Amino acid sequence: MAEGKRVTRRGFIKGSLGAAAAFTIVPRHVLGGAGNTAPSEKFGAALIGCGGRGNGTFGGLGPNVEKLAICDVKFLKKADNKTIYSDFRRLLERKDIDMVAIATPPHWHALISIAAMEAGKDVLCEKPMTRFIAEGRAIVNAAKRYKRIFQVGTYGRFGASKDKNKILTHKIMASGLLKNCKAVHRKRGGLKVQQWSGIVNAQPHPIPDSLDWDMYCGPSPLRPYHPHRFGGSHRGYWDYEGGGLTDMGQHHYDPVQWEFAKDYTSPVEIEAYAPPAHPEACAMWGWVELKYADGLTFTFESNEWGKPYDRKEDRGVSLSDLSEADQRKIKDMPDPKPLVSFPEAVRTRKEPGGHAEAAHHSATLMHLANMAIRTGRKLRYDPVKEQIIGNEEANRLVNIPMRAPWHL
């Protein structure tokens, strides 16, 4: 104890509570000791959502994990609540599980991620991170509140952060020296628009005995069962995802967002060219243009419907966009620190490369694009308040009400 410092009763209690709180947020695998695994050994892990992306997402947890349990709403008949679960809440009660991989359809990502972090688990969540913007902010807040590691399951930014040219772009954009950015990044095709469209004339089918359909629908409306709403093709319905745009968009734009140093902000103007959207099924659209406050423009171009985008050509940023004095400043800037992988983040408690805030902003790109498609209007967005300006119908898509009892 420092000389001259007196310990009051109140101070002692406060300090003890702080120590207890600190103890509870350090995972057992970091502490080691009797009955617990040490850092050099394996982490207890679980997979929630055992469809097509399940094993791939689980693999991202790293080499030192032991799969202790799996969970899926299709395990209604074979769930033993020991190694196989159909309700994620039962699985999250287990103290021997340190981390979870979440590969459910996206309408469950936010609620399960938040519940897992509240239960003290680190989370690796399949992309797209969320179904709507407010879910992303809730995940960011939960990761901070519970001091958990959250990483989204897309890894392109790790490669981008090692590319010399992309590092230069990152430094120019992060410097704030480029006041009027003329850069345009166009994503042409590869967004699986037809592939992940929904059926508009689906008729109700009997629910399979093994499937907990109510739990599958969860926070989304309880619809009549149809097999196309389940098992991968769920991507074609607004209830669960947002079509090929959200399925592929975060893969593409998450590294681009890092390159252009936009991990902490979002576009301010969004305009789409599309036919009127269907209320439930994702369908065709032509292109979406998203502009940041500094002028940087991103596009999504389907190449599957309508007239092609012809407003702007691709254009990067370069040192020659800056004055000679500013060019010298960029050359003197240190390179950004290497991004931390999920396994390293779990071990060291450092922020992972695809952390919640960055992932929330890259998911927001797709959500804004889909909101412009769904409303048919040019949107203005406030990236600080995370609200659409002057458009009530579009704002209703920022924070979509959930079906009771589920809520953010």
Partner 1 sequence: MAKASEKLAELVGRMPEPDGKGMYCADIDKDKIEGAIAEIHKGGRENILGVIDMLVEPGKGDDVKAHYALHCLGLHVCNINDRRGRRRFGATLASQLGGDRPKGVQAYLIQELQSFGGRETVEKLKALAGNKALAQPVAMALEAIRGGG
Q: Which residues bind partner 1 (CB under 8 A)?
A: 193-194, 197-204, 221-222, 224, 236, 274-279, 281, 283-284, 305-306, 375-377, 393, 396, 399-404
C-alpha Rg value of the chain to the nearest Å: 23
Instruction: CB nearer to partner 1: give 199 or 333.
Output: 199
> Smallest distance, Å, CB 402 to partner 1?
7
Rounded CA gap, 204 and 126, in Å? 29
The dihedral formed by the CA atoms of 239, 303, 261 and 374, expressed in degrees to the nearest 10: -30
Shortest distance, position 123 Cβ to partner 1, whole Å: 25
Q: Taking the chain, what is the end-to-end CA distance rounded to the nearest angstrom?
A: 44
Q: Measured from the CB atom, is 326 or 386 closer to partner 1?
A: 386
Least Cβ distance, residue 292 to partner 1 (angstroms): 25
Cα–chain-centroid distance for residue 105? 12
Minimum distance from CB of 392 to partner 1 (Å)?
A: 8
Tell me whether residue 137 or residue 157 sits nearer to partner 1 (CB atom). 137
Distance CA(339)–CA(154), nearest Å, equals 13
CB of 238 to partner 1, least distance (A): 11
**Residue type (1 letter), 43:** F
d(Cα 64, Cα 84) in Å, to the nearest integer?
Answer: 21
User: Rounded to an integer, what distance in angstroms lies between the CA atom of residue 139 and that of residue 127?
Assistant: 13
For partner 1, give the closer residue by CB, 30 or 207: 207
Give the Å distances, CA to CA, from 281 to 114, 141, 163, 200. Answer: 27, 31, 39, 6
**Are 272 and 369 spatial neighbours (Cβ–Cβ below 8 Å)?**
yes
Shortest reach from residue 137's CB to partner 1, in Å: 14
Cβ at position 87, least distance to partner 1 in Å: 20
- Residue nearer to partner 1 on the CB measure, 158 or 406: 406
Closest to partner 1 by CB, 144 vs 407, is 407
Q: How far is Cα 177 from Cα 195, in angstroms, rounded to an integer?
A: 42
Pick 202 or 319: Cβ nearer partner 1: 202
For 381, left (φ over 0), alpha (ψ -120 to 50), or beta?
beta
8-state DSSP, 315:
B
